[in-house]
A and B are shown apart, each in its own frame.
Chain A
Amino acid sequence: MALVGNLRDFALADFLYLIDRGYKTGSLQLNRQSDEAMLYFDKGKLLYAARSQRSERLGEMLVRTGKVTPQQVAHAVQLQENDSGHALGVLLIEQGYIARDELQRHIQMQIEETVYGLFGWPDGEFCFNAGTKLDKDDVQSLVPLGVENLIMEGVRRVDEWGRIKDHIANTDMLPRFVDQPHEKAKSINLTPDEWRVFARINGKDSIKEIISRTGLSEFDVSRIIYGFIAAGLVEVTRPRPANAPAPTTRAGAAAVAAGIPKRSLVSRIINRIRGM
């Protein structure tokens, strides 16, 4: 049993939201042309991400950040070739070239970068297999990552309108905070511009009004709100249609006008269908 589709139709941010709120465990495989990525989740959190065409290998990253020397990496690679099976990171630790927690931090960063890169895919097949567990002993004691910050960061890198329009049809829409803002809301890191938009959300002002009050561009405000939506903080609703029945206490006449049926009629239909 798998959830399959294309990122063109169902964005990565939406998928991560599903994983987070659905408390999912499993693997998400993504394919685009010859590129492939594999993400593992445990109870709604990201455990691991790897991409076939990754921009930078672990060794390169550690050298770039000055944590190890090129010679040390070369040595570890050599050991790896002689005595197969061990991950580079494990060998670097064993040789005393790097501390475990330092390595851990870098692997974590690399995982995050991998996911951010995937937000740039305009399309690509996805396949989520529920229940699949990460089968890796080389990556030690991975710290499960909450996905909401990944979503926010990923969305910051979205530069096309298409994705945003999926959730925000137009600037007349009203953003408001979701009813149960979730514990997670507390752990989301926002940029100053994001805070400015965040602070303007009151359930009454439309996006258009927020744009004019913050002085940010329509694109930026929309993208920021899209990020809030993707992370499950905010929802947008349409302004109430002019012709929608207004709330009223004079049930009788108003009900008829609004087409609200009588209880007796509804229960007759219910009985009929039950008996079918």
Chain B
Amino acid sequence: MQTVKMVISGAVNAGKTQFIRAISEIEVVSTERKATDDTKDIKKETTVAMDFGRISVGDDLVLHLFGTPGQKRFDFMWEILSEGMLGLIVLVDSTRPETFRETNRIIDFFTAYRDAPYVIAANKQDHENAWSPDELRLALRLNSDVKILPCVATERETVKNVLLELLYVIMQRSTEE
């Protein structure tokens, strides 16, 4: 049995848990713990550890999805998670510019670490005041070769689309045999 891994990261409240929940075959395993620091005024209870979801591809292949928090104090986890990962999705809450800086830090961190394929998901596009993917590209100063995709983590079709777009990027980098 071969296992491959994708990592979903993003600032607190970006929608990581929701995203994985929308597509995972299994009940998402979330390690909920009381936040003890600056995150606490955002949500009373926040996922400070991680989410885990799974999609079986066949008898011999399974895709694991890991949601990992973006806070700096969890940097050590990224190191573990990015080991052997197929690709990365960075979720951004399109309604909250106060998280853009953090989002950039996450992108920087992962790309400095490994030259991993990644896409950005502009989440919460159903929200009235959501910044559009084009606006986010300018706000986050993303190069034109980085995909930024509209996403509503509560709608499975958009989540599927984000995963597929990441897979197309991975495909371009894959080897013939």
Contact = CB atoms under 8 A, between A and B. Distances in A.
A270 B55 CA distance: 12
Contact of A259 (B57, B84, B97, B139): B84
B29 interface: no
Nearest to A276: B160
A272 B108 CA distance: 30
Interface residues of B, number: 44
B139 A269 contact: no
Interface string B83-112: 011100000000011111100000010011
A272 B138 contact: no
B4 interface: yes
Contacts of B164: 270, 273-274
14 contacts: A5-B96, A6-B98, A9-B98, A10-B97, A251-B176, A252-B175, A255-B175, A265-B2, A265-B174, A266-B170, A268-B57, A273-B55, A273-B160, A276-B55
Interface of A: 1-6, 8-10, 14, 17-18, 21-22, 166, 169, 229, 235, 238, 241, 243-245, 251-252, 255, 258-270, 272-274, 276
Given A229-B141, A263-B174, A272-B57, 18 more contacts: A4-B97, A6-B97, A8-B98, A9-B98, A9-B100, A22-B135, A243-B113, A259-B84, A259-B85, A265-B61, A266-B86, A266-B167, A267-B171, A268-B57, A269-B57, A269-B61, A273-B23, A276-B156
